[in-house]
Amino acid sequence: MVLYLIGLGLSDEKNITIRGLEYIKESDYVYMEYYTSILTVDKTILEKYYNKEIILADREMIESNFDKEILEKAKTKKVSLLVVGDPFSATTHMDLYLRCINEGVKVETVHNASILNSIGITGLSLYRFGETVSIPFFTEKWRPYSFYDKICVNYNNDFHTLVLLDIKVKEISEENLIKGKKIYEKPRFMSVNIGLEELLEASKNCQREDYRNLINEDNLCFGVARIGSDNQIIKAGKIKDIIKMDFGNPLHSIVICGKTLFNIEKEVFDFYLKKSS
């Protein structure tokens, strides 16, 4: 009958909107997408607060079994798919939206806060952000630097860059994939520190001479963690300083500042800089 795409916001069970909570309570099935992002609380806390059983939807379910597991149910029942942040912060969920529409399934969307708008807490104008980039975990054989070029484009245009950091939830290692073994790795969440290390490595090894070392240890940046929660951390400074700081538990993100800071941006940056020292 309907698929509800419900944003949960950024922190815990209480960030749900009133409309989202109403939809959850009337749903026959409630799923929670569990690989593009996470909340700071366990699903058992959500189940108690929403008074509903929640089925975790990992990458395999969403990418391979969505039609059979969720879409088919939504043709005859009311189904909720809970998404951390806002449902359309990730293109994954737009694909699911279109698949439902193409199958004649009604979709209702409940929006919520995401890192894309909540990063405004840094004082940087959202109008001055360029393309958002993601930094993946490097491996011995796979060290992609393409994200760095996008940061340089933003920087040369005097735009800020929101940098999202990789998470690995219920992933299978390359070795086990080759062997055909379905053994899941322990969850990993990239820290601000690792993200900045990889960024500096990409800067030093960039193929474009005009981009090489354009972003370096002296660039201004923010390191943030658990935005929207009671224990959020926001630290400002040069990369060489932020890279040494402890940001605690996930989730972490980075902002690389543009070439210039407007008056209010500079004022807020200095505020966080003093708190970080």
| CATH T-level topology, domain 116-276 | 3.30.950
- Domain positions in the chain: 2-113, 116-276
**Same fold for the pair 2-113 and 116-276:** no
Domain 2-113: give its CATH code.
3.40.1010.10
d(C-alpha 237, C-alpha 269), whole Å: 8
With the CA atoms of 12, 121, 125 and 256 taken in that order, what torsion angle do they form, in degrees rounded to the nearest 10? -90
In the 8-state DSSP scheme, what is residue 187? P
Question: Is there a contact between 121 and 235 (Cβ–Cβ < 8 Å)?
Answer: no
According to the model, what pLDDT value does residue 21 have?
Answer: 97
d(C-alpha 185, C-alpha 42), whole Å: 19
| Tokens 């224990």 found at | 231
Task: Return the exposure string of 203-222: e unless at least 16 CB atoms fall within 10 Å of the residue's CB, then b.
Answer: beebeeeebbebbeeebbbb
Tokens representing 187 are 């969850």
CB atoms within 10 A of CB 91: 9
| Tokens 């960024």 found at | 199
d(C-alpha 250, C-alpha 38), whole Å: 9
pLDDT in single tens digits along all 277 residues of the chain: 899 999 999 989 999 999 999 999 999 999 999 888 888 888 999 999 999 999 999 888 888 899 999 999 999 999 999 999 999 988 888 999 999 999 999 999 999 999 999 999 999 999 999 999 999 999 988 999 999 999 999 999 999 999 999 998 877 666 766 667 777 678 899 999 999 999 999 999 999 999 999 999 999 999 999 999 999 999 999 999 999 999 999 999 999 999 999 999 999 999 999 999 8
Tokens representing 23 are 């939809």
Mapped onto helix, strand or coil, the DSSP state of residue 44 is helix
* Bridge-based pairing state of the strands 252-256 and 78-83: unpaired
According to the model, what pLDDT value does residue 9 have?
Answer: 94
According to the model, what pLDDT value does residue 254 have?
Answer: 98
d(C-alpha 240, C-alpha 242), whole Å: 6
pTM of this prediction? 0.93
